[in-house]
Structure formats: structure tokens, C-alpha cells
Amino acid sequence: MAPWYQPGRRSNVLSAYGKLRSLGLALMDVGSVLTSASDHPRVIERQGPTGPERGFLLKHHEKNPSDPLSPFFLNLRTPYSPTPGPLTPELVEHAAECMWSSLVMEDSDSAFDIDVVVGVPRAGDPFAKVIAGLAVAAWCSLAKEENGGTRSIAPHRSALAAVGQTALLVDDMITKADSKLEAIKVLRDAGLAVTDVVVLVDREQGGREELARHGCELHTVFTIADLLDLYVECGRIDPKLRLEITAYIADYAMR
């Protein structure tokens, strides 16, 4: 799991580690983390290029329908999101506290110099609101605009009023970092300094490296590897499925 829980780092390591374990298991319990072995309506079965396959259709399948199904799926949204998800308010608060801890306990200077916390719309907003309270910082949202069937992130008046301040960008997860980079550009164009991004889950598919190329450090609570290790340890998934998911991620990251 994230480096800040390693033994010897802090006196409250055991408490932090316990919170991480309970959060990771709760995410699977509510259906925020699904695998191809899950009994869930989102799991589909079809004939693939190499035989029968079971898993999930993702957004990239819209342009690449013949790509292999994903053996895992994350839905880290609340029922009130435009794209509803299973996260309860209690889990959002628990997750946001762990996200904030991932900043504070890494001794990141930025964790103590945040003026405004900004969520990537809309999945990042619930976490950003909680983190803003923990950081004693302002919270602002970004807008989403649609033009010709294409959606883009747009500045909000509250963001424009914060010129010269430091913004922490928050989202539920990161894959290739496209939406994060779009939000970073909007905020920087509005005059804010953005050097740090915090997410609940890193899918380990190139997002961290992409942010680094744009001068941003990624902070995470879990990587996919962290969650898989936890689920294998607790008997929630078979080790063979873990290997299958790891192989899928490695292959997808190369595309």
C-alpha cells in the first residue's frame, strides 16, 4: 500500500494500516471494486478472439470493441453522481480522510500550503469537499461543458477568484491522467499553482508518469496492486485472478 503506512514512519502506523484494510474491504463489499469473478450485473460474457471471456466493457471499448474485456472494474462514485455508484457518504468520508493522510504523512510541504481544494468533475467533488474541511482550505468545483457531443472541463467563477493561490486537485482514480491534465490546464490558466494531485486508486496504467511530465506529483491511497494483494490475503479473490488482472494492466499500459 501507499508508502506512508510503512513501519517506523509514524506512531499511528497500525491505526492507519487498519483504516486502509477496512476501507479496501469495504470498497469490495459495496461493489466499488468488481472482478470478473464477481456476481454482478456489470459482468458480461462473450466470445473473444481467443475464446470465451468474462469481464467488463470500459469506455475505451467504444472505439475498440474487440479489445479484451477488463477483468476488473472500479466504480468510486456515489448514488448522487450523474453516473451513479455505490459509495455511501460514510465511505466517501473514510476515503477522503485516508487521501488527506496520504499527503500529510508523506511530509509533503504542499499538504500544509493548500489554499483551495478542487475536485475533477464530478467524481472528485465529494472527496474534495471533505478534504477541504480537513485542510481548512476553500473548496471550489469545476464545470463540465458539452459542445458538439464532446465534453470538456471548464473554469468556474470560484476558481477564477483564487488567482495566485495553490490548488490541490482531487479525483476518485487515475488511469492515463487525461481528465486530470485537462483540469490542471484550466486551473493554471486561471492563475492557480497546481503541483499535487491526490486520488483514491491508481490503476497503474501510466497516469503517475504522465502527471510527472507536467510537473505534478501523484499521491494515492491504493494502487491496484495494493488492493489485489489485500483481497488475495483475505481470501476475496483467487491468486490466479490476481495474475490475470496484473497481466491485463501490463498489456493495457503498453498501448
- The pLDDT score that the predictor gives to residue 8 is 43
Distance in angstroms (rounded) separating the CA atoms of residues 10 and 49 = 50
Residues 6+ apart with CB under 8 A from 172: 74, 76, 77, 123, 124, 127, 199, 200, 201
Residue 79, pLDDT score: 93
Could you give the CA distance from residue 8 to residue 168 in angstroms, rounded to a whole number? 27
Are the C-beta atoms of 145 and 152 separated by less than 8 Å? yes
Domains and CATH numbers, the chain: 3-253 (3.40.50.2020)
Exposure of 243 in the CB half-sphere (CA atoms within 13 A) = 3
User: Which parts of the chain register pLDDT below 50?
Assistant: 1-11, 14, 159
Which pLDDT does position 74 carry in this prediction?
A: 96
